[in-house]
Amino acid sequence: VNEQQIPCAKVYSETARDELIKQAEKLKEKALMELKAQGVNSETVFSTVYLNMGYKGSDTRIMVARPEDDDFLSVFYETHQREFAFNDYDKPVLITDVRVRSTGNTFGETNERSPYKDYASVAKVPVESGVEEKTTPVIFDEGALDSKV
């Protein structure tokens, strides 16, 4: 997973939207490069573009995922109505940032070590009796068990 984000302060319009979609494409390229550097196969990368939108003068923002028809404003209005039970069509809607979230898959081709293999290779050393400093209860599903620490 890689997320890229750039701030902006634009009143929503089709022109502003189109400009920000172009910037989002650059963010997608940057995210792809970073994922490829992590060993992710570029053919498995999927990206989602979001615009963070809200009414001018309001602190509330809604992160709107890019719809198929690019009509972010309609999705904003629908979401705002559902979440807050009103819309103020007379107020301008601001876009405060553009975000791209990209995910990909390595199909197991990573160099990460398995914690299970690490655990299996650890030498087991018995604990000597009488070296504990105190006893404290440890809670399990079955109840408490006094454990020496």
Domain boundaries in the chain? 2-103
Residue 148: DSSP 8-state: E
pLDDT of residue 82: 96
- Look at residue 90 and give its three-state secondary structure: coil
Closest C-alpha among 71, 57, 59 to residue 21? 71
- Asked if residue 94 lies in contact with residue 58, where contact means CB atoms within 8 angstroms, the answer is no
Pair of tokens at residue 99: 């975000």
pLDDT of residue 114: 75
pLDDT of residue 105: 81
* Average pLDDT over the chain, rounded to an integer: 91
pLDDT of residue 81: 97
Residue 142: DSSP 8-state: T
Query: What does the pLDDT average to over 78-93?
Result: 96
pLDDT of residue 112: 64
- Asked if residue 24 lies in contact with residue 67, where contact means CB atoms within 8 angstroms, the answer is no
pLDDT band for position 74 (cuts 50, 70, 90): very high
Whether residue 123 is predicted with pLDDT greater than 60 in this model: the reply is yes
pLDDT of residue 129: 78
Alpha carbons within 13 angstroms on the beta-carbon side of residue 86 total 4
pLDDT of residue 106: 72
Alpha helices, DSSP H, located in the chain: 14-37, 72-84, 115-121
More confident residue, 16 or 117: 16
* Rounded alpha-carbon distances, angstroms, from residue 14 to 18, 19, 87: 6, 9, 20
Whether residue 88 is predicted with pLDDT greater than 60 in this model: the reply is yes
More confident residue, 135 or 28: 28
Burial (CB count within 10 angstroms: exposed 0-12, middle 13-18, buried 19+), residue 3: middle
Q: Would the pTM count as exceeding 0.75?
A: no
